[in-house]
């Protein structure tokens, strides 16, 4: 026996969406079958059942209610899955055979539009990637919820592509056969993206051609076409709110690779991978979702144009100088809805009356914002205000049409105001008068029949009825009342008069709801014509929000407006770290000066751990990023160069995903900086070489510094514990030694966190260990060993020399067959050698290594006892 016709329909549709969960509409439920059901039951934690599908064996089945499907879809999307929504596309009452069904939308991590599935302050990008060769890539991405679309050409190598992806909130990426298998694995495993296949064979409608108008280069035109094909053929509709693809010229923005963004904690902290503790956390005082998203975009792409940076700084200055007007702007912005995403929902067809009411309320605030901007003294703010279009016609349309408290559903009625449409008013009048007549009829029937408990009710199955309890049935007039329904404790009746009025009321109600729905769709279509104007307004409002955020945080934290040096020099007086300063709260952050110029463009920083070397390096980079996005900076005075790139090697984190050690990560990040930096770049290298042996590390650190000095001339801060490297200050003309001051007072080390000229004279490593709480006996022993090592250059006695020679010989011949001795290794010795060979020392923690040595020592002592 074969499958039932309905199950055959399911299997045919599922074959086209093999990589998606198929939500198959059956009545009030979306059902899933076979493997979909098994997997969905596990992921959604719902009951797995079974059903007869026409064959001998029952098949797995699970389902979710149609009215609450959004939450289940959200769960699957957040886990990286895709969901194909398969609806009934004909009326079951008129269907001949199996009801016709079609997939009406494919929901993927990169194409979600519903508000509950999106983070208000985060973009949600769908990207497309194509490789013309291994050195040239076309890359495009769009946020379906806002319509923003960008396209660019990425040169150099695959790491540049990964950096670009890492720096964007991309949730899904579409690729074609040009992307090789190893690159695909990186996208899935390293970047944790949903990877989808490009749709080549299908075209996009002519009305979407305008999206590609500003793109001229064939490579970029091709990736845009792939992007729009994927959107159109997954969403099954034209997306009117998508903006023209904007070509990003990467050379117009500062490059922040993924290492720098991570190490500098621009948008997320390294420890918790959350906003708290990041630069974004400090400077985000935006009050709209649009502004928060724009701020992140600006942080992801700091400017290189001095003219554009100065324009932003000038507007921030204007907002900074006039507190009362700025506060007025902030308060007005708080009431403005997310116009970007609202435009997307209007285009997509899922906006409701409450959304349009929010739009009306938002537009009512725009004239006040425009008026406030005219009150600022700075012409740049006045000019920005002049660009604002309050969209009075749209606001007036919504004001006279949308009810003050409409329902969520657009099919329940109650969406529109009285007076908006004459025919609708007539239906409402009939319905309201009819219901008043019903209330009056109930009063009269109680009086005529003397049945005090008599009541007139309504339900969708039986319509209007007169209900009488069994105790009062003897009082019912048989000549007028017609029995309609029998209940346990009552009887329901109808009269000819009530039947007549019921028909009028129900007809008016039905026609009213139907007409109101059609009128609402017409209003929505009118709003759709304003989408470009709404998007332009949203862009200006979000820019104002970011600028006021910069002004607010600058005033609160005593930041200063930076200036830019034509000589490409850096002079910061009393520079501070914006994040640490805020985290410390009431504690006083120790500021420091930073100076770099054409003659002295490298700083070699020495000093003990915990003294603040890394903080000093990071605060320079964060200050530069803040300045180049247009914000004031944490310093008393700031004169900066404009940097094209920032490269960092800060922190000692293994790349566990790819199995690379700390030292390999160090070398990869250093190599990335050396190959891509220019003389206009900033390089921060913290403790390079510490992941290998002392002499290897020192040699590599010195050669890296010399190479940067001689060949790149980039502004560089290099911290180290290798005090021997400080002698480079005498040989490298562009290098200057500085150190972080610490003092020993009564045997305790005190970190002053102050930068001084010259090299540090002591590392204070044992003092730091003491601060960390290591046992006193361990600290005392370390001090003894340090004293011995420091006096090692004293000429040893003859007995000491003899002991050291014997020890060296013993070490050299340990477990090895001696040439002049016939003794072979014992079985126990062979076991120990085998044990040592099994150790993977590079992957051990210090404590694990100590434990292994302790075990080895016990074995060796046992061997000596037996010998």
Nearest CA-CA partner of 129 in 158, 105, 167: 158
State the DSSP H helix or E strand holding residue 483, giving kind and residue range, or none if neither.
strand 482-486
What DSSP string describes 297-344?
HHHHS-B--HHHHHHHHHHHHHHHH-HHHHHHHHHHHHT---HHHHHH
- Give the Cα-Cα-Cα angle 763, 767, 772 (nearest 5 degrees): 120
Could you give the CA distance from residue 23 to residue 25 in angstroms, rounded to a whole number?
A: 6
- Give the Cα-Cα-Cα angle 81, 85, 90 (nearest 5 degrees): 170
Q: Angle formed by the axes of helices 531-556 and 323-334, to 10°?
A: 130
- Check if the beta carbon of residue 58 is closer than 8 Å to that of residue 65: no
Could you give the C-alpha distances from 340 to 134, 238, 359, 386, 525, in angstroms and in order?
A: 36, 18, 11, 20, 17
Binding site, residues?
607-614
Structure tokens at 769: 């260990």
Could you give the C-alpha distances from 152 to 149, 188, 212, 389, 611, in angstroms and in order?
A: 11, 22, 13, 31, 43
Q: What residues have CB less than 8 Å from 595, skipping those under 6 apart?
A: 569, 570, 571, 572
Could you give the CA distance from residue 486 to residue 489 in angstroms, rounded to a whole number?
A: 8
565 HSE (CA, 13 A, CB side): 18
Beta strand 194-197 pairing with 170-175: parallel
User: Residue 585: exposed, middle, or buried by beta-carbon count in 10 A (0-12, 13-18, 19+)?
Assistant: exposed
| DSSP single-letter state for residue 94 | T
Structure tokens at 523: 């209003």
Binding site for ATP, residues?
607-614
Total residue length of the chain: 867
Instruction: Kindly compute the dihedral angle of the four CA atoms of residues 122, 125, 131, 137, in this order, to the nearest 10 degrees.
Output: -40
Nearest CA-CA partner of 77 in 14, 144, 162, 147: 144
541 HSE (CA, 13 A, CB side): 30
Q: Angle formed by the axes of helices 496-528 and 339-348, to 10°?
A: 120
Q: What residues have CB less than 8 Å from 653, skipping those under 6 apart?
A: 270, 662, 665
Q: Is the Cα torsion angle 236, 241, 243, 244 positive or negative in sign?
A: positive
State the DSSP H helix or E strand holding residue 364, giving kind and residue range, or none if neither.
helix 353-374
Q: What residues have CB less than 8 Å from 285, skipping those under 6 apart?
A: 548, 549, 552, 553
Could you give the CA distance from residue 788 to residue 152 in angstroms, rounded to a whole number?
A: 61
Place of tokens 């790139």: 645
**By three-state DSSP, how is residue 205 classified?**
coil
State the DSSP H helix or E strand holding residue 640, giving kind and residue range, or none if neither.
strand 637-640
Structure tokens at 132: 């013309």
Instruction: Kindly compute the dihedral angle of the four CA atoms of residues 611, 751, 778, 686, in this order, to the nearest 10 degrees.
Output: 10
Instruction: Kindly compute the dihedral angle of the four CA atoms of residues 69, 74, 77, 83, in this order, to the nearest 10 degrees.
Output: 10
Could you give the CA distance from residue 43 to residue 36 in angstroms, rounded to a whole number?
A: 10
- Check if the beta carbon of residue 28 is closer than 8 Å to that of residue 63: no
Q: Angle formed by the axes of helices 496-528 and 392-401, to 10°?
A: 170
């Amino acid at each position: 026996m074969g499958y039932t016709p309905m199950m055959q329909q399911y299997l045919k549709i599922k074959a086209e969406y093999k990589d998606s969960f198929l939500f198959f509409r059956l009545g009030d439920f979306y059902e899933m079958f076979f493997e979909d059901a098994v997997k969905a039951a596990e992921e959604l934690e719902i009951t797995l059942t079974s059903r007869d599908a026409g064959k001998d064996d029952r098949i797995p089945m699970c389902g979710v209610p149609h009215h609450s499907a959004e939450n289940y879809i959200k769960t699957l999307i957040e886990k990286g899955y895709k969901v194909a929504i398969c609806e009934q596309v004909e009326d079951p009452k008129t269907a001949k055979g199996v009801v016709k069904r079609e997939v009406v939308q494919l929901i993927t991590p990169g194409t979600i539009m519903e508000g509950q599935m999106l983070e208000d302050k985060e973009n949600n990008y769908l990207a497309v990637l194509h490789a013309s060769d291994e050195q040239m890539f076309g890359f495009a991405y769009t946020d379906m919820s806002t319509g923003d679309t960008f396209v660019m050409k990425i040169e150099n190598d695959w790491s540049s592509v990964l950096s670009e992806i890492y720096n964007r909130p991309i949730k899904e990426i579409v690729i074609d056969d040009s992307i090789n298998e190893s690159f695909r694995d990186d996208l899935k495993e390293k970047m944790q993206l949903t990877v989808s296949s490009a749709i080549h064979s299908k075209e996009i409608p002519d009305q979407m051609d305008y999206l590609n108008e500003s793109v001229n280069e064939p490579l970029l035109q091709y990736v845009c076409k792939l992007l729009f094909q994927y959107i159109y053929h997954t969403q099954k509709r034209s997306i009117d709110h998508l903006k023209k693809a904007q070509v990003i010229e990467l050379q117009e923005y500062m490059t922040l690779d993924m290492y720098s963004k991570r190490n500098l904690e621009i948008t997320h902290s390294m420890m918790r991978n959350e906003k708290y503790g990041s630069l974004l956390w400090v400077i985000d005082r935006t009050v709209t979702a649009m502004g928060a998203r724009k701020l992140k975009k600006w942080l992801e792409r700091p400017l290189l144009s001095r003219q554009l940076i100065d324009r932003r700084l000038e507007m921030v200055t204007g907002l900074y100088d006039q507190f009362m007007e700025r506060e007025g702007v902030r308060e007005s912005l708080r009431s403005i809805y997310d116009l970007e995403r609202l435009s997307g929902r209007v285009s997509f067809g899922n906006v409701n009356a409450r959304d349009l009411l929010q739009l009306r309320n938002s537009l009512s605030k725009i004239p006040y914002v425009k008026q406030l901007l005219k009150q600022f003294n700075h012409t740049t703010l006045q000019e920005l205000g002049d660009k604002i279009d309050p969209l009075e016609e749209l606001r007036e349309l919504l004001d006279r049409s949308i009810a003050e408290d409409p329902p969520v559903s657009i099919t329940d009625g109650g969406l529109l105001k009285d007076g908006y449409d004459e025919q609708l008013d007539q239906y409402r009048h009939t319905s309201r008068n009819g219901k008043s007549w019903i209330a009056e009829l109930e009063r009269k029937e109680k009086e005529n029949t003397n049945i005090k408990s008599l009541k007139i009710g309504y339900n969708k199955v039986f319509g209007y009825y007169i209900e009488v309890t069994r105790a009062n049935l003897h009082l019912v007039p048989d000549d007028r009342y017609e029995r309609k329904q029998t209940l346990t404790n009552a009887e329901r009746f109808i009269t000819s008069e009530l039947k007549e009025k019921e028909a009028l009321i129900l007809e008016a109600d039905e026609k009213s709801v139907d007409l109101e729905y059609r009128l609402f769709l017409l209003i929505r279509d009118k709003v759709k014509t304003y989408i470009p104007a709404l998007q332009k307004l949203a862009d200006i409002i979000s820019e104002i929000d970011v600028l006021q955020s910069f002004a607010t945080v600058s005033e609160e934290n005593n930041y200063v407006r930076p200036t830019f040096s034509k000589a490409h020099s850096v002079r910061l007086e009393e520079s501070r770290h914006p994040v640490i300063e805020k985290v410390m709260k009431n504690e006083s952050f120790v500021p420091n000066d930073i100076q770099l110029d054409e003659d002295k463009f490298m700083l070699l920083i020495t000093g003990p751990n915990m003294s603040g070397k890394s903080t000093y390096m990071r605060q320079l980079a964060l200050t530069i990023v803040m300045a180049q996005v247009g914000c004031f900076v944490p310093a008393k005075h700031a004169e900066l160069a404009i940097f094209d790139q920032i490269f960092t090697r800060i922190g000692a984190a293994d790349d566990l995903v790819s199995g690379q050690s700390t030292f390999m990560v160090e070398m990869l990040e250093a190599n990335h900086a050396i190959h891509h930096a220019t003389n206009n770049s900033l390089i921060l290298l913290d403790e390079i070489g510490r992941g290998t042996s002392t002499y290897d590390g020192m040699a590599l650190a010195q050669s890296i510094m010399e190479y940067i000095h001689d060949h790149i001339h980039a502004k560089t801060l290099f911290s180290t514990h290798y005090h021997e490297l400080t002698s480079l200050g005498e040989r490298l003309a562009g290098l200057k030694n500085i150190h972080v001051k610490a003092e020993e007072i009564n045997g305790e080390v005190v970190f002053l966190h102050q930068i001084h000229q010259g090299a540090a004279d002591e590392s204070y490593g044992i003092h730091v260990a003491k601060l960390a709480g290591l046992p006193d006996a361990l600290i005392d022993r370390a001090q003894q060993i340090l004293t011995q090592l420091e006096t090692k250059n004293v000429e040893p006695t003859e007995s000491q020399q003899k002991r050291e020679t014997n020890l060296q010989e013993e070490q050299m011949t340990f477990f090895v067959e001696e040439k002049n001795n016939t003794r072979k290794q014992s079985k126990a010795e062979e076991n120990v050698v085998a044990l040592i060979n099994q150790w993977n020392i590079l992957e051990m923690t210090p404590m694990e290594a100590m434990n292994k040595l302790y075990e080895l020592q016990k074995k060796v002592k046992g061997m000596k006892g037996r010998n």
